[in-house]
Structure 1
Amino acid sequence: MRNYKLVLNSSQSALSSQPQLKALPPLSLYIHFPWCEKKCPYCDFNSHQIKDVTSSSPQGFDEVRYINALIADLETELPRTWGRQVHSIFIGGGTPSLLSAKGMDRLLSDIRARVHLEPDCEITMEANPGSVETEKFTAFAKSGINRISLGIQSFQDAQLKALGRIHNGAEAKRAIEIALEHFKSVNLDLMYGLPNQSLEDAKADVETALSFKTPHLSFYNLTLEPNTYFASFPPKLPSEDEIDAIFEQNLALLEAAGYRRYEVSAYAKKDQECKHNLNYWRFGDYIGIGAGAHGKISFPDRITRQVRERHPQTYMEAMETKGNALIESRDIPAKDLPFEFMLNVLRLSDGVDTATFSERTGLPLNVIAKPLNEASQKALLDPHPSKLKATPQGLRYLNNLQELFL
């Protein structure tokens, strides 16, 4: 059992002063693409359905204008990250695969001209099966995309219809086949706990996903998020006991197929974990550009967060008229850093070394001695003194564990 000696005065002093970082963490780049062909009823992400498809705007959005805004946005961040290599890029949304091949090539070329990418930089793009085109995927791969994340959700037509998806099961399977032909790494997003989903339904989805042998799979429990259509008009979902049974079944199937659960919702074959998301969960840094994007940048004496304008039109207008689209830019108070750090790292099945806490927050470990001991006593935290790692029970009741550090 843990037994950290809490030196109260020094802890209080540390939380009232600025953090002191001896080294900066890895740096990633997140790019938000805010448009979708259709807004899904469960989605609470910053995505906007395309409405105005015209001859002058056949895609339904002004691609050139938005990319111009993205690159200008990136340039505003260069003085804050000068000299640092970018460890990974993630293009999320929305549906970034709606970008044209030319647009994606220009975006990545302009990024390379402005920031130094690590030689093995992971570049991920999210895509939906309904927007998959063989020629476009070939071009995306040539532009530098080396990892694709497909929003499959289910392979069953009835479930896809209930979720408001625009693809069917056959299109989902074809999209995976195309992706495997063109990209070094492929992730499949699947949901469970779907409307009227049975244990057998969930098993069929998992077994179909496993048949493609992709190196990475993500499994999310469908939740009814505020300000979504499903929140206002909730579908009939399985009971908590049924959802638990589905999860345990999924976990057993994945482990038997050689996938390791390395994060709450992420499973990977050996050495195939998502570098970008690992950087988030290890409290690394990331530039966030695009409508509604969030960013976190560390300095030797402070850690900062930023938020951009949420609506794409407002975002582009702000970049064009003011030269930035920030609606928030602040230093994280030292008293908030322990919770922000633990909120992320406790999602990891392996956790992190205790030394990582001081490396990434600039604070001594004794500032969280009390919640560490409490979490260990409740069997939510691994008692090993050199690790910050949730127990299997801690992962199961992750919200309860994280709240101890609030």
Structure 2
Amino acid sequence: MTVQVTGRSLLALPPLSLYVHIPWCVRKCPYCDFNSHEFVAGTLEHAQGSPAGERHLPEADYVDQLERDLRSQLPWVQGRKFGSIFFGGGTPSLFSPLAIGRILDLAESLVGFADDIEITLEANPGTFEQAKFAGYRHAGVNRLSIGVQSFDPLQLQNLGRIHSGPEALTAATQARTAGFDNINIDLMHGLPGQGEVEALQDLAQAVDLGAEHISWYQLTIEPNTAFYSAPPVTPGSEQIAAIQKAGRAYLAEQGYDRYEVSAYSRAGLASRHNLNYWSFADYLGIGAGAHGKVTLPQTRRILRTQRTRAPKHYLALGCETGAGGVEFPQPKLQEVVQDERPLEFLMNALRLEAGVPAESFEQYTGLPLDTLRREWRRLEAMELVRPLGPTVGTTRFGYDYIDEILQRYLAES
């Protein structure tokens, strides 16, 4: 697509977040297409004095690399402080509270934190991880995201999860005891043999546990997963639609606002980190396979960044300098050129039910709002999007057809 620019808008410096990727898992789930890696001999080290055969993650070496990674990206901070931090994986709760605390201390000393910073850590519900919840809270984590997926023992088995239903229930209780007052529970629907009743039972359990935030997303079969090679039998499209309709109605009745395609929260407790992503703001990505986005107003450039995916390759990055330090390379860079910015912006912003302020399109893309008008009017005529005004967003009808909207926009641009 070619962007016809009739004016020149200021490219503003958006808010800044940090994403930290911890790439290891005890077991790779059959549906997972994230950059996660099971424990293998090449990625583990033996702790000094540990019993023979006991395996330990190389967390100290990895945290050293994360520090070098963050230091290498400091020129992109440009005077901002982190408004949110997200530890994703993999399974970040495999790392010790000491390691997580060290990463947070580094981030605060090197960049600084906003006064109301949100710091989220993804955690598995297993007993081993639960024992560390209080340590994470003490280290500075103030939001826990627990990867339950389902409370149904049969579905947990179908999904290859290593925790049990009771452990999932206990995890939320343990998180409260540890001092967390902002908890997300991840759940999936569209599971093998699942109907409306079973899907709503999972949601009801999360509500009963008092979750402030529920991520409820459909099981999809992605390439390069075990399910892609041997796909399970999942509900048909009509059944999926019925499940989604019933679930949305139930969550609304329980006081949860649907603010993003698959995210529901109590009032005022939407994930600030995810809002930052979907608003086309900036974030630094550190760790194996981590992605980032940075804006450079002085040169009017927007860059996507990516680190090497394999943990062993990430741990090998850098070379010693004559001064005894380590020179750390830049991540792979890809510029978001002017022609790509409208679609990139919309791919994020249209996921938000309320849309985004129209002024943020001009500020974060450096393009005038008129850039959108020709294609937008065609979508508006089909009642898929709202008229361009104070906000850029879909209609209530169009919100269920975001993929189709983006395809039409791309085809007609």
Report the TM-score when normalising by structure 2: 0.91
Query: Which residue does 1:158 correspond to in 2?
Result: 154
Corresponding residue SS for 1:252: helix
CA distance in 2, matches of 1:98, 1:258: 33
- TM alignment of 1:217-228, pairs within 5 A: 217-228=214-225
Structure 2 unaligned regions, length at least 5: 321-325
> Using the alignment, how far apart are the partners of 2:73 and 2:331 within structure 1?
15
Select the residue among 92, 112, 116 that pairs with 1:116. 112
CA offset at residue 265 of structure 1? 0.4
Give the 3-state SS of the residue equivalent to 2:327 in structure 1. Answer: coil
**Relative contact order (C-alpha < 8 Å, sep 6+): which is higher?**
1
**Equivalent residues in 2 for 1:338-349, closer than 5 Å:** 338-349=342-353
- Residue-by-residue CA offset, 1:150-204 (whole Å, 9 max, x unaligned): 0010000000000000011100000011112221310000000001112211111
| Cα distance in 1 between the residues matched to 2:301 and 2:355 | 24
Q: 1:238 aligns with which of 231, 235, 240?
A: 235
- 2:60 pairs, out of 57, 64, 74, with 64
- Cα RMSD of the aligned pairs, angstroms, is 1.9
1:317 matched to which residue of 2? 316
Matched, 1:375 2:367: no
Structure-2 separation of matches of 1:87 and 1:357 = 20
Q: What one-letter code is carried by the residue in structure 2 that aligns with 1:71? A: E
Structure-1 separation of matches of 2:168 and 2:270 = 22
**Aligned equivalent of 1:294, options 291, 295, 309:** 291
Q: Which moved more, 1:183-192 or 1:57-66?
A: 57-66
Q: Matches of 2:407 and 2:203 in 1, distance apart?
A: 32
Q: 1:308·1:325 contact (CA, 8 Å) conserved in 2? A: no
Amino acid at match of 1:246: I
Identical columns (%): 42
Aligned-residue offset at 1:51: 2.6
**Which residue in the other structure is 1:262 paired with?**
259
Shifted more, 136-145 versus 57-66: the winner is 57-66
Task: Give the whole-Å Cα distance in 1 for the aligned partners of 2:151 and 2:310.
Answer: 32
* Displacement of 1:209: 1.0
Helix, strand or coil at the partner of 1:25: coil
Report the number of matched residues.
394
Instruction: State the partner residue of 2:323.
Output: none
The answer to whether the 8 A contact 1:283-1:345 is kept is yes
Cα 1:245/1:387, change in 2 over 3 Å: same
Deviation at 1:391, TM superposition (A): 1.5
Question: For the structure 1 residues 13 and 370, does the alpha-carbon distance in structure 2 shift closer, same or farther, using more than 3 Å as the test?
Answer: closer
- The CA distance in 2 between the partners of 1:391 and 1:45, in whole Å, is 31
Match of 2:205 among 205, 208, 215: 208
Taking the aligned partners of 2:330 and 2:202, their CA distance within structure 1 comes to 41
Change (3 A) 1:132 1:252: farther
Which 10-residue stretch deviates more, 96-105 or 326-335? 326-335
Q: Secondary structure at the match of 1:183?
A: coil
**Maintained 8 Å contact 2:5/2:368:** no
Aligned residue among 192, 210, 214 for 1:195: 192
1:368–1:405 CA contact under 8 A, matched in 2: no
3-state SS of paired residue (2:114): strand
Query: Separation in 1 of the partners of 2:55 and 2:251?
Result: 38
Distance 1:21 1:35 in 2: 41
- So what's the TM-score if we normalise by structure 1? 0.93
Counterpart check, 1:276 vs 2:273:
yes
Question: Comparing 28-37 with 313-322, which one deviates more in the overlay?
Answer: 313-322
Structure 1 segment 395-406 matched on structure 2, within 5 A: 395-406=399-410
* AA in 2 matched with 1:27: L
Matched with 1:5 is none
1:348 counterpart SS class: coil
Residue 132 of structure 1 deviates from its aligned partner by 4.7
Which of residues 24, 28, 32 is equivalent to 1:39? 28
Q: Distance in 2 between matches of 1:137 and 1:260?
A: 27
SS in 2 for 1:370: helix
1:82 is displaced (CA, Å) by 3.4
Q: Which amino acid aligns with 1:235?
A: P
Distance 2:87 2:55 in 1: 18
Q: CA deviation at 1:50?
A: 1.1
Aligned letter for 2:64? N
Structure 1 runs not aligned, ≥5 long: 1-8
Once residues 59 and 175 of structure 1 are traced to their aligned partners in structure 2, the CA distance between those partners, rounded to angstroms, is 25
Q: In 2, are the aligned partners of 1:73 and 1:319 still within 8 Å (CA)?
A: no
Equivalent position of 1:180 in the other structure: 176
Correspondence 1:307 to 2:330: no
Structure-2 separation of matches of 1:325 and 1:160: 41
Alignment of 1:46-57 (within 5 A): 46-52=35-41, 55-56=46-47
